[in-house]
Amino acid sequence: MDTSASRASQLFSVKDYVCLVTGGGTGIGLMAAQALAANGAKVYITGRRMEALEQAAKHHSPNGEGGGSIIPIGPCDVTKKEELEKLVDNLKGKEKYLNLLVAAAGIPGKKAPPEGDTAQSIRDALWAEETPESWAENYTTNVSSVYFSTVAFLPLLASCPKDQSPSVIVISSMSGLMKDHQGHFSYNAGKAAVAHLSGMMSREFHRVGVRVNSIAPGYFPSEQTMKESDERQKSYMPDEKVLDKGHPVPAKRAGKEEEMAQAVLFLTKCGYVTGEILKLDGGVLNEVGQT
């Protein structure tokens, strides 16, 4: 290999790649879309709220030489097969293939801390705050929608030139890897399920040339974690919010958007990686332990 080929601009260029990001209007989905578009990709973003997608594209499409584009497509509720099929047909009318699918759509789930020191008090707190319906909604959005989104776009991904190593990046969470329930059993259980799902899909879909990897983020600013976004579809997480989690956060801060960008670009471009869960957690799992 010529030394010039090791330049970051060569290693991580996604010029002319075609990408789709679910949940791309806010949070980590938007961070992924920006990273890809800034390095030359055409990035379609989808989600339930068309206004959020349009605002994200308006404020964050790249300006300048070498940049790609962020294009709203949809809206699409990824929990519904008929809407996914409509989105596939829409994209097929525009593109011959996909290089990358980023499955970032998700919901936080209901918080239900088990309070008290007796079995009855713990039971009462959990029983009162959670329902089978809320567990089902969490699983449908955070797990099964990832499966059906990936399956729906598998033929478009498999049609990608093989030297570009088509792939899927699933956004899971450090919460799915830790023993601590963090006050939301259903969310953590769902994120554990989607991490395992990513591994199963990587094994099965590798035979048609499609890699599957997962990013398990720690504390990153998003509409999901902070309950709000500004007019640019961005959220802010102060350091004191991160340090008040009841367990150590060695980095002592939230993750930066450029750190998420680095993770997305690495998994997109490194064709020798599949079935990986990339922990992007500021060291939290070193402190609290993994399942």
* Helix or strand holding residue 51 (H, E): helix 50-60
> Is 4 domain-assigned?
no
Residue 215's pLDDT is what?
Answer: 97
> Is 2 domain-assigned?
no
Its domain, for residue 227, covers: 10-288
Q: Provide the percentage of residues in the chain whose pLDDT is more than 70.
A: 97
d(CA 212, CA 192): 16
Choose, from 187, 198, 214, 234, the residue flagged as catalytic: 187
Question: Which CATH number is 98's domain given?
Answer: 3.40.50.720
d(CA 17, CA 66): 12
Q: How many domains does the chain have?
A: 1
Mean pLDDT score across all residues of the chain = 90
> What's the pTM?
0.93
> Is 188 domain-assigned?
yes
Among 78-87, 148-157, 267-276, 280-289, where is mean pLDDT lowest? 280-289
> Is 240 domain-assigned?
yes
pLDDT, tens digit, 9 for 90 and up, residues 221-245: 876 666 667 777 777 777 877 777 7
DSSP SS3 for 46: strand
Residue 290's pLDDT is what?
Answer: 80
Residue 205 has pLDDT above 80, yes or no: yes
How far CA 200 is from CA of 58, 173, 205, 245, 268, in Å, comes to 37, 17, 9, 32, 19
Cβ-in-10-Å burial (0-12, 13-18, 19+) of 169 comes to buried
Residue 161's pLDDT is what?
Answer: 92
Q: Which residue has the tokens 């509409």?
A: 223
> Is 5 domain-assigned?
no
Choose, from 149, 172, 175, 235, the residue flagged as catalytic: 172
Known active-site residue 187: yes
Residue 72 has pLDDT above 90, yes or no: yes
Residue 36 has pLDDT above 70, yes or no: yes
> Is 1 domain-assigned?
no
What is the DSSP track for 3-22? GGGGSHHHHT--TT-EEEEE
pLDDT, tens digit, 9 for 90 and up, residues 134-191: 899 999 999 999 999 999 999 999 999 989 999 999 999 999 998 777 877 889 999 9
Handedness of CA 271, 165, 106, 258 (dihedral sign): positive
Choose, from 139, 149, 165, 191, the residue flagged as catalytic: 191
